[in-house]
Structure 1
Amino acid sequence: MTNVPEELKKGSLIRAVDDDPAIREALQFMLEAEGWRIRTYAGGQEFLTEDAPSVPGCAIIDVRMPGMSGLELQREMNVRGYRLPVIFLTGHGDIDMAVSAMREGAVDFVQKPVEQERILEAIARAVDRGRLGEGGSLLLGDIRARVSTLTDREREVAALIGAGLTNRQVGERIGITVRTAEGHRAAIIRKLGVREPQAIARFLKNLEEREG
């Protein structure tokens, strides 16, 4: 089970935005049992109206909702300058939407039906990202642990992304399709917990310098 300091749980608020009351109830029961504080919302507009984004934590958002979709909510949060890390809940057919969400800054996406260990790991990573920002304050052990989750190909792609190459340029450089490059980028963002090319480059540079 994911080990998160109790003081971090007490100082964070997890938001669950989903139009399905059964999902909201299940998440609330699960997270409260694990010691997290949680507040649920039935839709994006309710979240935007009632939530206090200055309270640290993260938001768990369903991709497909009537009215304002999860992606539309994410874009509105970006427009408003919300720095709250986002985890998306997706169906099996939503991989393209998930990739788009990651490119917009989502920390992770978790497929339904939700597995407890998977969502708890995602929450811990999201809250950690929100607390530490784009990775500049991580210790060497944290950086090494995150980079070690990358496959050799993902690390190769990460270096190219860090150098400022687009997905198309990455594909041309190493002989893969643009779609495959997008998939690698999404995996890198999810595993490292950062999305900006400069932050990805800093991860790799810090690891090389501290191990050198």
Structure 2
Amino acid sequence: MAEPEAVVYVIDDDASMRASIESLLRSVGHTVVTFDSTQSFLEFSRPEGPACVVLDVRMPGASGLELQRELAAAGSAIPIIFVTGHGDIAMSVAAMKAGALEFLTKPFRDQDLLDAVHRGLEEDRRRSRRDLHLDALRERYALLTSRERQVMRMAAAGLLNKQIAAELALSEVTVKVHRANAMQKMQARSLPDLVRMSDSLGAHIQES
């Protein structure tokens, strides 16, 4: 299945700056959507797919830093590249500590912005792939019986079949059957593969 189209969102109240950034990004093939305020961006229904945000810090209404906090609170991991004509050290540190990918001071070099956007989109593509992989693992894990989940957790923790059998008061043959079923349903090719899946599932596997 083809990956959805990547989009760069540009948020800046300065119309000439919006147009300049949009023209630069489109010149190298990026799809760009622009906004004149953080509120208009929040009201926009974003499609699925890799994306990043080029965001001015100071704007009428909610600032770029406030939007960053709001997106984080909503669980959004979209990469943010801040641009500002009024940047100071404290503001830059606050933005980077809150997870900003880059902080560029106007006037910035075109290549610096293009490099940051490239990194942002690649980072979001990787995150999207990780999310899809984790969703697939969770779907497979949901197919396991409660006993298969127990055996999977214990096998992934390094216990031998006979140790699992003693712990669960089962025969070793029964443990082998549950383990084989778990391997098949999880599509694990080997025990190390199952361990990696267990690590990826993390807290999810402990809660079930």
Determine if the TM-score, normalized by the shorter chain, exceeds 0.5.
Answer: yes
| Structure 2 partner of 1:58 | 52
| Structure 1 partner of 2:139 | none
**Matched position secondary structure for 1:133:** helix
Please report the TM-score for the alignment, with normalisation by the length of structure 1: 0.56
**Matched position secondary structure for 1:72:** helix
Q: 2:55 aligned with 1:77, yes or no?
A: no
Structure 1 residue 66, shift from structure 2 partner: 1.2
Structure 1 residue 53, shift from structure 2 partner: 6.2
Q: Check the 8 A contact 1:90/1:98 in 2, yes or no.
A: no
Q: Deviations over 1:19-54 (max 9, x none)?
A: 000110001111111100000000000000014163
Report runs of 4+ in structure 1 exceeding 6 Å deviation.
Answer: none
Please report the TM-score for the alignment, with normalisation by the length of structure 2: 0.57
- Amino acid of the structure 1 residue aligned with 2:37: G
- Amino acid of the structure 2 residue aligned with 1:28: E
Figure out how many residues of one structure are paired with residues of the other and give that number.
128
| Structure 2 partner of 1:208 | none
**Matched position secondary structure for 1:99:** helix
| Structure 2 partner of 1:115 | 109
Q: Deviations over 1:94-143 (max 9, x none)?
A: 22111101111111111101311010000011111111239x8xxxxxxx
Q: Which whole-Å CA distance do the structure 1 matches of 2:34 and 2:12 have between them?
A: 8
Q: Which whole-Å CA distance do the structure 1 matches of 2:8 and 2:37 have between them?
A: 15
**Superposed, which structure 2 residues align to 1:166-185 within 5 Å?**
none
**Matched position secondary structure for 2:43:** helix
- Amino acid of the structure 1 residue aligned with 2:46: A
Identity %: 39
**Superposed, which structure 2 residues align to 1:1-212 within 5 Å?**
11-52=5-46, 54-91=48-85, 93-133=87-127
**Matched position secondary structure for 2:122:** helix
Closer, same or farther: CA 68–53 of 1 in aligned 2, 3 Å: farther
**Matched position secondary structure for 1:68:** coil
Q: Which whole-Å CA distance do the structure 2 matches of 1:31 and 1:40 have between them?
A: 11
Q: Check the 8 A contact 1:53/1:84 in 2, yes or no.
A: no
Q: Check the 8 A contact 1:53/1:82 in 2, yes or no.
A: no
Q: Which whole-Å CA distance do the structure 1 matches of 2:87 and 2:102 have between them?
A: 16
**Matched position secondary structure for 1:96:** helix
Relative contact order: is structure 1 or structure 2 higher (C-alpha 8 Å, sep ≥ 6)? 1
Q: Check the 8 A contact 2:87/2:105 in 1, yes or no.
A: no
The answer for unaligned runs of 5 or more in structure 2 is 131-208
**Which is higher, the Rg of structure 1 or of structure 2?**
2
The answer for unaligned runs of 5 or more in structure 1 is 1-6, 137-212
RMSD: 2.1
Q: Which whole-Å CA distance do the structure 1 matches of 2:61 and 2:86 have between them?
A: 21
